[in-house]
Copies of this chain bind each other. A is one copy, B any other.
Amino acid sequence: MEFGSDNVVGASAPIVEAIAVAARAGRQGTYGSDRWTQSAVRRLEDLFERKLSVLLMTTGTAANALSLATVTPPWGGVFCHDMAHINDEECGAPEFFTAGGKLIGVSGPGGKMTARALTETLARFPRGGTRHVHAATLSLSQATESGTAYACEEIGALVEVARSAGLSVHMDGARFANALVDLRCTPAEMTWKAGVDILSFGATKNGALACEAIIAFDPGKVEILEVQRKRAGHTLSKGRFLGAQMDAYLADDHWLDLARHANRMAKRLADGLTGIAGIRLPWSRQANEVFAVLPGDIDAALKQAGAHYYEWDALGLSADDVPRAGEVFVRFVCSFETLEQEVDDFIRIAGGAR
């Protein structure tokens, strides 16, 4: 019963196969001039319905940090949710890549910032002075760190606030697929049609081995992205490794199938937990993560049975939801490899503990 993370599993079969085929393919173009990378870029352009600047990377942290550096000067401020991955989990990578940019937390329940909170926070950074860093970038996570997702209209409303303050807009899509399949809007609608400038498009958590794309919706950004990638040591000479993954990920809607499975397992888990007395789910699940406040005895029974998951920071919970004595706040993550049986066993044990 593995609900610790979506990165404890390996890669999906088609992606593994694609890596092996490419690695055995002898002499090929280097530094991203291979045919798999070229094919992956075309697939992304079809998917997003426009010309793009695409750069393949090995990690989400690098994709986020490099994306932010492209739209944020060293004296710029990046406005993101207090608990955003870029703010709280990337060890200062955005600060490194931007050469000293500053992340400004914006609050909101369930991992989603509100337009009002964004407006109020921006008001503390008036344009033109030199006391504060310059407000430069809005960064939204889709799905969020709390397993929720912004509706397209919510993205539009936040972008409107950002635009009126002159900000660029970045989206951290480490779990882009998981958000997309639940929202049932198009990739274009969730991004550039809503005003997003640059996107970290994740594949690693959803079945790849190590592959993410930076997608700038301005097709003229390739050169500026490439020089920064090289300088950060992220340009693979044998770029086929990245190209093969992304190409197989996108082929035949494989990426959507993987995400639908993970989300379905998360829904099954959330539904099961909802029916058990004493368990509270503070936010509605919208991707492949479920957050819950567990009574201590249920937590103990699950651990005893070998279930694996992590306690989580309760900082973002409302007063009603904050764990009381004897309770723990935990995160469950489902992946493309999560089995129905695992979920059902888990629910059964949790339900039987009382």
Q: Does A27 contact B (CB under 8 A)?
A: yes
Greatest chain B CB density within 10 A among A58, A92, A241 is at A92
Q: Could you say which residues of chain B place their CB within 8 Å of the CB of A74? A: 92, 96, 99, 231
Q: Does A313 contact B (CB under 8 A)?
A: yes
Q: Does A236 contact B (CB under 8 A)?
A: yes
Q: Does A228 contact B (CB under 8 A)?
A: yes
**A84-124 toward B: CB 8 Å interface, digit per residue (1/0)?**
00001111110111111111000000000000000000001
Docked pose: A237 CA to B320 CA in angstroms: 34
Q: Could you say which residues of chain B place their CB within 8 Å of the CB of A185? A: none
Q: Does A130 contact B (CB under 8 A)?
A: yes
Q: Could you say which residues of chain B place their CB within 8 Å of the CB of A128? A: 223
- Identical chains bound together, number: 4
Q: Could you say which residues of chain B place their CB within 8 Å of the CB of A29? A: 8
Q: Could you say which residues of chain B place their CB within 8 Å of the CB of A223? A: 128
* Residue of B with least CB distance to A11: B23
Q: Could you say which residues of chain B place their CB within 8 Å of the CB of A25? A: 10
**A219-250 toward B: CB 8 Å interface, digit per residue (1/0)?**
00001001111111111111011000000000
Q: Does A38 contact B (CB under 8 A)?
A: no
CB pair B93–A232 under 8 Å, yes or no, is: yes
A99: contacting residue among B8, B99, B103, CB under 8 A: B99
CB pair A19–B23 under 8 Å, yes or no, is: yes
CB pair A91–B237 under 8 Å, yes or no, is: no
Q: Does A263 contact B (CB under 8 A)?
A: no
A86 to chain B, nearest CB (A): 11
Q: Does A303 contact B (CB under 8 A)?
A: no
CB pair B7–A22 under 8 Å, yes or no, is: no
Q: Could you say which residues of chain B place their CB within 8 Å of the CB of A8? A: 27-30
CB pair B238–A11 under 8 Å, yes or no, is: yes
CB pair A133–B59 under 8 Å, yes or no, is: no
